[in-house]
Amino acid sequence: MTTASPQRPATVRGQEAPVRAIPVRRLVLVELRKAVDTRSGLWLLAAIGVASLGALVIFGVFGPAEERTVYGFAGMALLPQTFLLPVLGILLVTSEWSARAGLVTFTLEPRRGLVVLAKTVAAVVLGLAGLALLLVVAGAATALAGTGDQAWDLGARDLGHLVLLQLLAVLQGVAFGLLLMNSTAAIVLYFALPVAMNLLVQFVAAVRDHAAWFDLATSQAPLYTQAPLTGEQWAQLGATALLWVGLPLLVGYLRLRRREITTA
């Protein structure tokens, strides 16, 4: 029996050609393609689009006339996006294990930090693209509502609030997916924890008084208004973002660095 000798790098005039690292831009493009070329990804994107459009229609028909502004329509359509887009972020990360592609991915690109960065950037790009499309549709809905020139008042601060809400949502999905590395567990935890936290806030008065310091939903609530956030509100938002996004992302990355990739 013969054994094949290992393949050597290509040579140029008798010298080994330098091996070029895969650029981050290419990794991001690959992750973007992964997000949309699966049946689950396509169905999830379709569900997000239908839910956002349905929210706009319901708000346009039943919403208060004075709130039918571009910001009001955008905020209403953003709710289903911030609810479902994190699932796309989870699937983007956990696909390496649920689709048994981890060995291929981390063999072609052994720098695991760059793979995580590419997945994070891809999730952010998808979130911002969804927000941009949402704003276009919200503008069309505002034009159809015909509620006057003041309905088009969307300042830089308001736009920043919408962007921040979208980014926190998709990054939380990436963080939960990286922390658990299992699609089912990450999705269940993502939906179950807010419900448990909401029940705790509603029925325990001592918790309710300080909820903005540890409950992300409570600290994000001021972002849905057009009022500027106070210093304390920014501090509360930063603390909860570190707790629910930063900490799971860090722990998940440390787990990934130590984990042996054995799936094929």
Distances (CA, A) of 128 to 15, 103, 124, 169: 46, 30, 6, 11
* 206 burial type by CB count under 10 A (0-12 exposed, 13-18 middle, 19+ buried): exposed
Given this model, what pLDDT does residue 41 score?
77
Residue written as token pair 């830089």? 156
Tell me what the mean pLDDT of segment 240-260 comes to: 90
Extract the tokens encoding 67: 């709130």
Q: Where are the domains of the chain?
A: 22-258
Tokens of 13: 């005039």
- Kindly report the average pLDDT of the chain as a whole number: 82
pTM, to two decimals: 0.82
Per-residue model confidence (pLDDT) at position 94: 86
What is the pLDDT at residue 174? 93
Q: Quick one: 159 exposed, middle or buried, by C-beta within 10 A (0-12, 13-18, 19+)?
A: middle
Worst-scoring range by mean pLDDT, 11-15, 58-62, 155-159, 207-211? 11-15
Higher pLDDT, 67 or 128: 128
What pLDDT, on a 0 to 100 scale, did the predictor assign at position 4?
A: 44
